[in-house]
Amino acid sequence: MKSFQVREAIVDLLVRIEQDSGFSHLLIDHEINSRNISQKDEALLTEIVYGTIQRKLTLDYYLEKFVDKKKKMKLWVQMLLRMSLYQMHFLDKVPDHAIIHEAVEIAKHRGHKGIASLVNGVLRNIQRKGVPDTAEINDKTKRLAIETSHPEWLVERWIDMYGFDITRNMCIANLERKPMSIRIQPLKISRKAVMEELDELGFEMRESDFSNQGIIIDKGNILRTRLFEEGFVTIQDQSSMLVTEMLNADPGMTVLDACSAPGGKVTHTAEKMRNKGTIVAYDLHAKKAKQIQNKAAELDLTIIDAKAADARKLQEKHAEESFDRILIDAPCTGFGVIRGKPDIKYNKQEDDVKRLAQIQADILDSVAPLLKQDGLLIYSTCTVDKTENDEVVKGFLAQNQDFQADKAFFDQLPDKILGSPGISEIGLQLFPHSFSTDGFFLTRLKRV
């Protein structure tokens, strides 16, 4: 595919993501598969689309100094300017004059000479004068929001919860590339054998401190290896692996995963149980439950029974005290995975936090009675918001005297995490900057 066509495709993608609030990773995957884009162009397309979305508010701050606010601009022109400026300011692979030339050609092709002239004028003006200095913004919350391209309300919220320094570190981490981590299938292969094979292929990697099944890939594309294609490894963030490690599920147990899609934790649990025992996995959507079952089959795991059901109604399907272990990986705002899904930070609002916190509390209330006495329940989310985490758990414990935060949870955390700023009396908040993982909350409750 020619460079011009790749960048046309990028403009199309940015328009769709902006217009439909679509999930960028799904739209990018669809575009790559449907247009048969080469590996080289795939990397370029992904980098520019993600980077432009990730830096959207910063780019708009820069652009508004050079664009007449009274002039109404078509959405595709805004996206063209954003992506061109992203390349000029944040990348150094292509010279500015080439970026401007291509932007002008795209403007001519999609619009007319007037638009091409506008695009040329804005970009050349920025090339001459440079982008405005964010140090001019006096309010430090607003300055951090613009510099790291997070909505101001979200930055204010995090500062109220964690203070300015943690918020700043978190916002900066959300702009950085996270190393990929994988989980080996221990019933099929050892971590040592996987690392030896990857080493021969030229990969750079290291062992995870969070799970003895985890490997962090610093260099190399695991998707193009036989290890991935044949189900010897699966992609999973270390924070997500830690959830299953802390569930302490042993072979022969009966386990419930109440909100199991996309299936990483439930398949990991089956591996920890050495594929012996029973796991019932639910998701609200039948399509996702089917995907979980397919994922289990890929990994040769047979103890998982995945079905569609609302986690708030599982008492209709199971008697009280049916399970040795329960995992509730609750639906959440996803503020901990902004680094991989940057559109989340623009699409979610404060009302979403309140709405989801109520759903999380309802799920916890409904599912907890299904746990046996002395059983363990993990509550986790991929967000960093205390309303969805600490407050949900505290509210539940206040109403349920037969449950308590399991003190052994803190003793069993990996050594590397001990002393982490995210540890509280109620559980563990992993921040994205602490260990280069997703932002994740987890706690373990015990029924006494």
* Residues taking part in catalysis: 382
In whole angstroms, what is the distance from residue 303 CA to residue 268 CA?
12
Question: Would you tell me how many other CB atoms lie within 10 Å of the CB of residue 18?
Answer: 19
In whole angstroms, what is the distance from residue 119 CA to residue 411 CA?
59
- SS3 assignment, position 226: helix
How far is the first Cα of the chain from the last one, in angstroms, to the nearest whole number? Answer: 62
Contact 384, 344 (CB under 8 A): no
Q: Radius of gyration (Cα) for the chain, nearest Å?
A: 24
The response to whether 261 counts as a known ligand-binding position is yes
The response to whether 260 counts as a known ligand-binding position is yes
The response to whether 375 counts as a known ligand-binding position is no
The response to whether 263 counts as a known ligand-binding position is yes
The response to whether 139 counts as a known ligand-binding position is no
Neighbouring-strand partners of residue 445: 377, 405
Q: Compute the residue count for the chain.
A: 448
* Closest C-alpha to 202, from 222, 186, 183, 182: 222
The response to whether 264 counts as a known ligand-binding position is yes
Q: Dig out the tokens for 392 from the structure.
A: 């949900």
In whole angstroms, what is the distance from residue 251 CA to residue 276 CA?
5
Going by their DSSP bridges, the two strands 278-283 and 304-308 should be labelled as: parallel
DSSP states of 251-284: TT-EEEESS-TT-HHHHHHHHHTTT-SEEEEEES
The response to whether 69 counts as a known ligand-binding position is no
The response to whether 121 counts as a known ligand-binding position is no
The response to whether 171 counts as a known ligand-binding position is no
Contact 374, 402 (CB under 8 A): no
In whole angstroms, what is the distance from residue 270 CA to residue 247 CA?
12
In whole angstroms, what is the distance from residue 142 CA to residue 155 CA?
8
Q: Residue 233: enclosing H or E segment and its boundaries?
A: strand 233-235
The letter for the amino acid at 122 is V
Q: Dig out the tokens for 68 from the structure.
A: 């007449």
Binding residues for S-adenosyl-L-methionine: 259-265, 283, 310, 329
Annotated binding site: 259-265, 283, 310, 329
